[in-house]
């Protein structure tokens, strides 16, 4: 595979550096997965990245820079080896028939590409029957098929499905994030439960907006740390799960919750999850 293909992801480098880095490393080492879960709160942003990645996988000339017939067909939404399955408007869940159709397509070899990409949107709307049906296909993947799933949070996905996929987090940080260059998240990771309570008390007197800025900045720094210190998929998945919870804290601040209790819970979680990061000290 030609590394030039990843130029198609250049436009995502600034806002989604971790996602680009994960794909780039896998591409460079020829270790692309047969199944991915792209996780994030904005499904439209996820799909934008997914389509760029799919174009790379489907491009027979291996540059995905819109200068070949494959890319032109893809740009016109007519590529026969690319399919997106979305939750139907008339149902609360993704229909089992859709999963069966996806599984059936997996059995057929690609039509014009050397690869086939099937996208399953918002698998948080996948019921247990659909999940079990999909699981067998993930366990016995076809070498020419890549299945890409999207979801708002890994909490809404069966662990058995997560364990068979590469997780790609999509995160864009808003202007709420502090511009402080000297922010070191390690200084805010408690070493004891007593220290967690101490940190929480320090934030108790702060305004809600100031607490929001801290949590958003903490989240950004944790993602940056994860990008620069890539470990196993298992560790990365735990990091993604933890950092996703910070978004829940941000939302809860707008729900008239007790700020002190909220910050106590946050710092306790930081303490209890400190082992998923590799400390230099």
What residue numbers bound the domain in which 206 lies?
Answer: 185-276
What is the pLDDT averaged over residues 126-130?
87
pLDDT at 179: 57
Residues 94 and 130 in one domain: yes
The predicted-structure confidence for 57-93, as pLDDT tens digits, reads as follows 998 776 667 677 878 888 888 899 999 999 888 777 8
Cβ neighbours of residue 220 closer than 8 Å, sequence gap 6 or more: 173, 177
Q: Quick one: what percent of the chain has pLDDT higher than 90?
A: 24
The whole-angstrom separation of Cα 169 and Cα 167 is: 6
For residues 262 and 201, is the Cβ–Cβ distance under 8 A? no
Residues 7 and 91 in one domain: yes
Cβ neighbours of residue 143 closer than 8 Å, sequence gap 6 or more: 34
Question: For residue 231, is pLDDT > 70?
Answer: no
What is the pLDDT averaged over residues 234-241?
79
* Domain end position, chosen among 104, 134, 169: 169
Residue 91 in any domain: the answer is yes
pLDDT at 34: 94
Residues 233 and 97 in one domain: no
Phi, psi at 167, each rounded to 5°: -90, 130
Would the CA dihedral through 227, 140, 116, 87 be positive or negative? negative
Q: From the CB of residue 279, how many other CB atoms can be counted at a distance below 10 Å? A: 8
Report which secondary-structure segment, H or E, holds 148.
strand 145-151
The whole-angstrom separation of Cα 174 and Cα 103 is: 38
Q: Which of 50-54, 88-92, 132-136, 150-154 is least confident?
A: 88-92
The predicted-structure confidence for 151-210, as pLDDT tens digits, reads as follows 988 888 888 898 889 999 887 555 445 555 567 888 888 889 999 989 888 887 788 888
Residue 180 in any domain: the answer is no
pLDDT at 172: 55
* Whole-number average pLDDT of the chain: 83
Helix (H, G, I), strand (E, B) or coil at 85: strand
Residue 178 in any domain: the answer is no
CA nearest to 119, candidates 109, 105, 136, 140: 105
**269 or 184, higher pLDDT:** 269
Angle in degrees, CA 219, 222, 225, rounded to 5: 155
For residues 33 and 177, is the Cβ–Cβ distance under 8 A? no
Strand partners, 74: none
What is the pLDDT averaged over residues 86-104?
88
Q: How confident is the model at residue 43 (pLDDT cuts 50, 70, 90)?
A: confident
Question: For residue 49, is pLDDT > 90?
Answer: yes
Structure tokens at 69: 């017939």
Q: Please count the structural domains in the chain.
A: 2
Question: For residue 109, is pLDDT > 50?
Answer: yes
Residues 201 and 123 in one domain: no
Residues 155 and 198 in one domain: no
For residues 63 and 5, is the Cβ–Cβ distance under 8 A? yes
Residues 119 and 248 in one domain: no
pLDDT at 145: 95
Structure tokens at 28: 């460079």
Q: Quick one: what percent of the chain has pLDDT higher than 70?
A: 89
Question: For residue 2, is pLDDT > 50?
Answer: no
């Amino acid at each position: 595979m030609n590394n030039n293909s990843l130029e198609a992801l250049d436009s995502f480098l600034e806002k989604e550096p971790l996602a680009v880095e994960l794909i780039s490393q896998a591409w460079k080492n020829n270790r692309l997965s047969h199944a991915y879960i792209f996780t994030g709160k904005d499904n439209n942003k996820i799909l934008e990245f997914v389509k760029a990645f799919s174009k790379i996988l489907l491009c027979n000339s291996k540059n995905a820079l819109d200068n070949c017939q494959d890319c032109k067909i893809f740009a016109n939404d007519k590529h026969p080896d690319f399919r997106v399955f979305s939750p139907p408007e008339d149902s609360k869940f993704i229909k089992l028939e859709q999963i069966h159709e996806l599984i059936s397509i997996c059995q057929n070899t690609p039509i014009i590409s050397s690869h086939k990409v099937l996208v399953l949107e918002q698998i948080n709307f996948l019921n247990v029957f659909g999940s079990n049906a999909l699981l067998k296909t993930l366990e016995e993947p076809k070498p020419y098929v890549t299945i890409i799933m999207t979801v708002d949070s890994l909490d809404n996905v069966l662990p058995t499905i997560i364990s068979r996929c590469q997780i790609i987090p999509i995160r864009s940080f808003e202007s709420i994030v502090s511009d402080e260059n000297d922010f070191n998240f390690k200084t805010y990771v408690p070493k004891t439960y007593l220290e967690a309570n101490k940190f929480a008390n320090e934030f108790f007197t702060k305004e809600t907006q100031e607490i929001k800025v801290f949590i958003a900045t903490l989240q950004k720094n944790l993602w940056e740390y994860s990008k620069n210190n890539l470990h196993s998929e298992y560790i990365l998945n735990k990091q993604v799960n933890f950092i996703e919870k910070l978004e829940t804290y941000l939302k809860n601040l707008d729900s008239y919750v007790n700020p002190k209790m909220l910050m106590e819970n946050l710092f306790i979680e930081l303490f209890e999850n400190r082992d998923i990061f590799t400390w230099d000290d």
